[in-house]
Amino acid sequence: MIRHMISQIERIPGKVAGSGAGWLASVLVLLAPVALAAPDASGLYGQYCAACHGESRLGGSGPALIPQTLRRMRGPKVAAVIRDGRPATQMPGYGDVLDAGEIAALADYVKTPLAEIPEWGVDEIAATRRMNPDYTPIAAPGFTYDPMNVTLVVETGDHHVSVLDGDTFRVLDRFPTPFAVHGGPKFTPDGRFVFIMSRDGWVQKYDIWTRREVGRIRAGLNSRNIAISHDGRYLAVANYLPMTLTILVAADLSVVRVIPVVARDGTESRVSAVYQAPARKSFILALKDAPEIWEIATDPGAGPFHDGFVHSSEKGMKEALAAQKGLFARRRILIDGPLDDFFFTPGHRFLIGAARESEEGVVINLNVGREVARLPLAGMPHLGSGISWMRDGRRVMATPHLKEGKISVIDTTTWQVTDVIETAGPGFFLRSHENTPYFWADVFFGPNRDAIHVIDKQSLEIVKTLRPVPGATFAHVEFTRDGRHALTSLWEDEGAVIVYDAQTLEEVKRLPMRRPSGKYNVWNKITFSEGTSH
């Protein structure tokens, strides 16, 4: 504020403002009360932070800003993040609009405990459950389009989802979602229902056949993502706040249980993410604040403590045998340090993880419950958007990097980085399909964010770079069920989904959208297409 006032005074012509020591003294007297007044931290938060982090500081499109989450921040301090932003995220820097005193006051404010954090257990969650009284299910599809070739487009510009016919690219429906959808939608195994989660913990159920919302419930206060069980019966919601995993019944969104996430040493932990592992009939849970990975059974007869699953230590085996076996039984896998990002090989036998500030990736064999390899992966790999395919008779996976313009290609048998593809800048998403010879890689960060590379899966050569709108962010690819068309996002408020012929790489159609981000094809998701991340 002072800086702004002084800059305005300096613009006053000398003949109007006067000159000399008397005039300067008068100005200083007028400014003194302002200079001595403490910055209005609450007002600053409302002006610069609330839109993303929530008026209550309990999270929105950004995470909760409370001591319980901030004290676990690894890397930059809070004031530095406010001043400089955070690379490879949507957090901008405010050093050019806030002075040092205002930044310090704002940092202290968000580190101040809330007067009260609401209890958020079974009863509180159940009380938020709202089922749509106008929803009527139907026994069979009453339409001509292919429900397995439907693609959902998340439009973050105005918090809606568009439902596209994958054959004609006609918009079948456009419905409102909870604020700030986060993590990919999850479909029931038959492709009929989809579940969408917002950053503030709301889970919405939508029927693709009837194109109507079924209901919604708030499963957490600040949440990361959801997963659905192998049989479609249960939903798991990963929470930052409270530090829990919420289990819901998918059919009616009722609460099964709320599992506190506490490490073996007693450390409470946020959940980085929860993943579905259909072949294992389990959920895989990544702890953000403790060096553990959990596996939770989603079938009473195929829990992670038997049917060939073993522990890497005698102590672990005894703990497993003593634990209650059956539905939602838990298995701990101890690792060297917390991991932030993950990739799974087909069948979910191996997990590849990395910490945000690490220079390495870690390979964990989930069958035996221990680390089996390490990978040199500097530049912050984004393993969550990695993909895999067969190359020269061997399965490989590839991951972009959030801080470096490169894609690492890894042999999943030898666990060696075999190739590094240089790109026009750091990227966020990779996508492909079984029926295309290419994979697509965006350049989400930096001056070339308007580009997507199309790369040959065998030669690893960039065959074409697409730039449909110079200067506009161009990202995230999804394919139709048959792989014939690639849907891309012009990631702007007045943006579009641009459809390409996946063989000729020519534009086919352009659909206006409000900042379209993720796109999710029903068939590709429920079949775990090798070209899409999960």
Instruction: Give me the phi and psi of 376, to 5 degrees please.
Output: -75, 105
Residue among 481, 458, 521 nearest 151 (CA): 521
The CA–CA distances, whole Å, from 484 to 17, 169, 333, 478 equal: 70, 13, 41, 11
In this prediction, residue 23 carries a pLDDT of 54
CB hemisphere CA count around 341 (13 angstroms): 22
Q: Return d(Cα 330, Cα 314) in angstroms, integer.
A: 17
Instruction: Give me the phi and psi of 340, to 5 degrees please.
Output: -110, -25
pLDDT digits (tens, 9 = 90+) for 159-174: 899 999 999 999 999 9
Residue among 359, 296, 305, 348 nearest 327 (CA): 296
Burial 420-459 (b: 16+ CB within 10 A, else e): ebebbbbbbbbbbbeebbbbbbbbbbeebbbbbbbbebee
The CA–CA distances, whole Å, from 246 to 179, 203, 216, 273, 512 equal: 20, 11, 14, 12, 36
In this prediction, residue 304 carries a pLDDT of 46
Per-domain residue ranges of the chain: 2-110, 120-144+175-290+292-334
Same fold, 2-110 and 120-144+175-290+292-334: no
In this prediction, residue 532 carries a pLDDT of 84
Sheet holding 370-376, edge to edge: 341-344, 350-354, 360-365, 370-376
120-144+175-290+292-334, CATH topology level: Methanol Dehydrogenase; Chain A (2.140.10)
Helices (H), ranges, 128-186: none
Q: What is the model's pTM? A: 0.81
Query: Considering Cα of 167, then 168, then 172, then 178, what sign does the dihedral take?
Result: positive
Q: Return d(Cα 490, Cα 498) in angstroms, integer.
A: 7
**Which structure tokens are listed for 184?**
């990919």
Kind and range of the H or E run holding 363: strand 360-365
2-110 CATH pick, 1.10.760.10, 1.10.645.10, 3.30.2320.80, 1.10.3720.10: 1.10.760.10
Residue among 171, 166, 221 nearest 197 (CA): 221
DSSP assignments along 71-104, one per residue: TT--SS-HHHHHHH--TTSS----TTTS-HHHHH
CB 381 within 8 A of CB 404: no
Q: Return d(Cα 473, Cα 467) in angstroms, integer.
A: 9
How many angstroms separate the most distant Cα atoms in the chain? 89
**Which structure tokens are listed for 456?**
């040959």
**Which structure tokens are listed for 511?**
């659909």
Q: Identify the segments of the chain with pLDDT beneath 50.
A: 1-12, 15-18, 34-35, 74-75, 303-324
In this prediction, residue 18 carries a pLDDT of 46
Q: Return d(Cα 188, Cα 170) in angstroms, integer.
A: 23
